Structure 1
Amino acid sequence: MSDDFMLDTDDLTRRMDGAMANLRTEFASLRTGRASASMLEPVQVEAYGQMTPINQVGTVNVPEPRMVTINVWDKGLVGKVEKAIRESGLGINPQLNGTIIMLPIPELNEERRRELGKVAAQYAESARVAIRNLRRDGMDQIKKAKADGLSEDDQRFWEAEVQELTDKYVKKVDAALETKQEEIMQV
């Protein structure tokens, strides 16, 4: 049995990539004072009896650096889209112009920038926790294999592999956080 054990590092890598992708999505939703269509990705609208992403009920554009527009395709959904944006916690006040919703992006003050930096740090910590949980899953597989006859040398080898992978992804999270915080604090 001991020679047959092969930890699926590809699966661990794929799952850690998923944690990084989730972190990038959460970071994209943070306002940095510049308009970005991705800031609306987490906003869901109740349309046709189900929750739907904004980009599936209208066209999201960034016509200028401090403005996002949404051209809602169904006139009956304009109010629901506006309400979803107001309740999203983005701190943006939508303005209606027919079926077009304009979102002027206000200048961020110093206090708001610090708050967003803290939110970014919380997102990064959640990603680190997810990565450490995946590390624990890998270590548990190794312990189980050890109980089934895996040699101590093989156990150490696989534990080092899992730890190396974990360290690599934690560094990626830290780098992404540093980049995002610089972006947030940039005036």
Structure 2
Amino acid sequence: MEEEIELYLDDAKENMEKAIKHTIAEFAKIRAGRATPAMLDGLAVEYYGSMSPLHQVASIVAPDPRSIVIKPWEKNMVAAITKVLRESNLGLNPIAEADLVRLNIPPLSGERRQELVRKAKGEAEEGKIRVRAARKSANDGLKALQNEGAPEDAVRRAEEKVQAFTDQYIKKIDELLEVKEKDIMTV
């Protein structure tokens, strides 16, 4: 029974770690005044009849804090990349050049910064929901073990460990949010 309890604990910790990684990835997509290639994560472009992530068909670099340069591996992809960027909800205006696409990142207004902070808070809340879901799943599994005959005190100790993990990972998400919020609000 002890091995099964440990499996539930390991599973809970692993799922909570995935929630943190997901939250970090989502925060990277939120623009914070500086240009970063991560802003374009999630964009896909049609490449030989199938949709491919933008980073697989072009190199994406941020040569300075106010611009991003996208250099496709094939020159004929410039038009398709420009179209995808215009249709995305990033609010950026791509400039197509001979063999690359340039994005100038305008400075953020105070109102836009507040909107991005709200978005970051929403992503943090999603991360916390994922952590709590991992806690619920682990606790449900532990209850099932108790019903199968596992010692009640061993299950209770395991539930306390799961709660400690939950508190630890939610605190980590709050810290990540605080850093991101400061990053967004820095002019």
Same fold? TM cut 0.5: yes
Structure 2 counterpart of 1:81: 81
Which consecutive unaligned segments of at least 5 residues does structure 1 have? Answer: none
In the TM superposition, residue 88 of structure 1 has moved relative to its aligned partner by 2.2
In the TM superposition, residue 168 of structure 1 has moved relative to its aligned partner by 0.7
- Contact 1:7–1:142, Cα closer than 8 Å, also in 2: no
Matched, 1:128 2:128: yes
Rounded Cα–Cα distance in structure 2 between residues aligned with 1:164 and 1:3: 19
Structure 2 counterpart of 1:152: 152
Matched, 1:164 2:164: yes
Letter in 2 for 1:6: I
In the TM superposition, residue 42 of structure 1 has moved relative to its aligned partner by 1.8
- Contact 2:79–2:96, Cα closer than 8 Å, also in 1: no
- Contact 1:59–1:72, Cα closer than 8 Å, also in 2: yes
RMSD of the TM alignment (CA)?
A: 1.3
Rounded Cα–Cα distance in structure 2 between residues aligned with 1:73 and 1:67: 19
In the TM superposition, residue 54 of structure 1 has moved relative to its aligned partner by 1.1
Correspondences of 1:167-182 after superposition (within 5 Å): 167-182=167-182
Larger deviation: 155-164 or 40-49? 40-49
Matched, 1:28 2:28: yes
Letter in 1 for 2:6: L
Rounded Cα–Cα distance in structure 1 between residues aligned with 2:3 and 2:56: 48
Pick closer, same or farther for the CA change 1:108–1:51 going to 2, 3 Å: same
Question: What per-residue deviation string (whole Å, max 9, x for no partner) do you get for residues 52-80 of structure 1?
Answer: 11111111111111110001122222122
Question: What per-residue deviation string (whole Å, max 9, x for no partner) do you get for residues 20-45 of structure 1?
Answer: 11111111111111111111112111
Rounded Cα–Cα distance in structure 1 between residues aligned with 2:171 and 2:2: 32
Rounded Cα–Cα distance in structure 2 between residues aligned with 1:152 and 1:135: 18
Rounded Cα–Cα distance in structure 1 between residues aligned with 2:50 and 2:135: 36
Rounded Cα–Cα distance in structure 1 between residues aligned with 2:2 and 2:113: 54
Rounded Cα–Cα distance in structure 2 between residues aligned with 1:3 and 1:14: 18
Runs of 4+ deviating beyond 6 Å = none
Counterpart secondary structure, 1:6: helix
Structure 1 counterpart of 2:46: 46
Counterpart secondary structure, 1:34: coil
Letter in 1 for 2:24: R
Structure 1 counterpart of 2:5: 6
- Contact 2:5–2:142, Cα closer than 8 Å, also in 1: no
Identity %: 38
Rounded Cα–Cα distance in structure 2 between residues aligned with 1:123 and 1:29: 11
Counterpart secondary structure, 2:68: strand
Q: Could you state the TM-score of these two structures normalised by the residue count of structure 1?
A: 0.94
Rounded Cα–Cα distance in structure 2 between residues aligned with 1:110 and 1:4: 53
Counterpart secondary structure, 1:108: coil
Counterpart secondary structure, 2:33: coil
Counterpart secondary structure, 1:27: helix
Larger deviation: 114-123 or 74-83? 74-83
In the TM superposition, residue 183 of structure 1 has moved relative to its aligned partner by 0.4
